[in-house]
């Protein structure tokens, strides 16, 4: 079995300060419920038989060329405005990375694959209902051009789970996502929390080589930090403009659910609004509407502010503020462009 897409071990090479080795759960059964052959084709994995698919994405045998065990990634983040230093991959891990034929780096990561060091008392599992909800969100958003993770695989695993927010026992599943990175805003926050400035520099260099490849190699680390920060502001502003025009409410726009490469991901509670109701919230536990439909741009800017704070050893405060002040411009441009696209018109007067 030969993949034309190149298997790489890019995240592994960052070193163990960025991950813990994880042990996948062993499930009593494996029933394939969904395989995304369109996404798999980019990685030359669409030719796998269903049994091979289950072997790699339900039993987690190593894909050819993968040299490491699953990696539970380390990160922190703000959850509903409160900093949490106990985050990290609590029920998932990075399974593999591929360079496609266009030289784009893709990650395959899991959800519901068992307990890790960061499970915080949770069972490390995912409900089948939760997996299907994520599938519906990611397929709809992908069709609308929103930068997002994609649901790659869903395998029902025949366990009975207890959950306090849905009728229990409920059916279990393991999900695999394909995404463009797993470098969260919260990844930088954790390094800043521990004053690991050398590792922040290492991560910036990793981003330059793998995701922001237009940056000239001779740039010094401070210039690289400034360029990546501005590019993150642009990309996340672009994403939020698309999300608003899609009528989508993420529900939990915490800083660990933004990739610095521009993707939003991890769809627990979410909704599409029927009308442009700015105060509509998707999560029943979002009592104060922090992540309501109309406050999503504000949530994104707040998250980017935390990224700026994490880079303040490399970027001066004036430049951080000037960069954050550009968010509104890029968001409004995205809003206008995608409104016109969705309405099927060429342009519209900004006023």
Contact predicate 186/265, CB 8 Å: no
180 within 8 A of 106, measured Cβ to Cβ: yes
Rg (CA), the chain: 20
44, 107, 256, 286: the catalytic one is: 256
Closest CA to 31 of 3, 6, 59: 59
Count of residues making up the chain: 351
What tokens appear for 65 in the block? 């060329």
Burial (0-12, 13-18, 19+ Cβ within 10 Å), 262:
buried
256 noted as active-site residue: yes
- Beta strands in 143-280, from DSSP E residues, in sequence order: 150-161, 170-179, 248-249, 271-272
The Cα–Cα gap between 222 and 317 comes to: 13
Query: Distance between CA 305 and CA 318 in Å, rounded?
Result: 13
Q: Catalytic amino acids?
A: 256
């Amino acid at each position: 079995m030969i993949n034309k897409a190149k298997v790489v071990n890019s995240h592994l090479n960052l070193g163990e300060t960025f991950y813990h080795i994880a042990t996948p759960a062993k499930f009593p059964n494996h029933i394939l419920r969904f395989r995304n052959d369109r996404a798999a084709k980019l990685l030359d994995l669409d030719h796998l038989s269903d049994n091979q698919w289950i072997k790699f994405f339900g039993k987690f045998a190593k894909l050819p060329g993968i040299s490491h065990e699953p990696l539970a990634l380390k990160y922190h983040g703000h959850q509903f405005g409160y900093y949490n230093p106990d985050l990290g991959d609590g029920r998932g891990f990075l399974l593999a990375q591929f360079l496609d034929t266009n030289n784009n780096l893709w990650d395959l990561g899991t959800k519901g694959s068992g307990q890790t060091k960061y499970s915080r008392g949770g069972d490390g599992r995912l409900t089948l209902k939760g997996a299907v909800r994520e599938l519906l969100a990611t397929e709809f958003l992908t069709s609308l051009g929103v930068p997002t993770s994609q649901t790659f695989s869903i395998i029902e695993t025949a366990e009975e789970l207890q959950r306090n927010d849905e009728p229990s026992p409920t059916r279990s599943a393991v999900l695999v996502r394909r995404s463009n990175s797993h470098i969260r805003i919260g990844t930088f926050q954790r390094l800043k929390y521990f004053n690991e400035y050398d590792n922040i520099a290492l991560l910036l260099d990793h981003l330059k080589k793998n995701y922001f490849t237009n940056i000239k190699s001779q740039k010094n680390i401070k210039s690289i930090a400034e360029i990546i920060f501005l590019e993150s502001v642009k990309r996340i502003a672009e994403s939020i403009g698309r999300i608003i025009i899609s009528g989508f409410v993420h529900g939990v726009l915490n800083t660990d659910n933004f990739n610095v490469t521009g993707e939003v991901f991890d769809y627990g509670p979410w909704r599409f609004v029927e009308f442009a109701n700015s105060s509509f919230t998707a999560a029943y536990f979002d009592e104060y509407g922090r992540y309501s439909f109309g406050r999503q741009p504000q949530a994104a800017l707040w998250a980017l502010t935390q990224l700026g704070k994490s880079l303040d050893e490399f970027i001066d405060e004036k430049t951080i503020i000037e960069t954050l002040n550009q968010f509104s411009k890029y968001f409004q441009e995205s809003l206008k462009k995608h409104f016109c696209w969705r309405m099927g018109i060429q342009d519209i007067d900004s006023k």
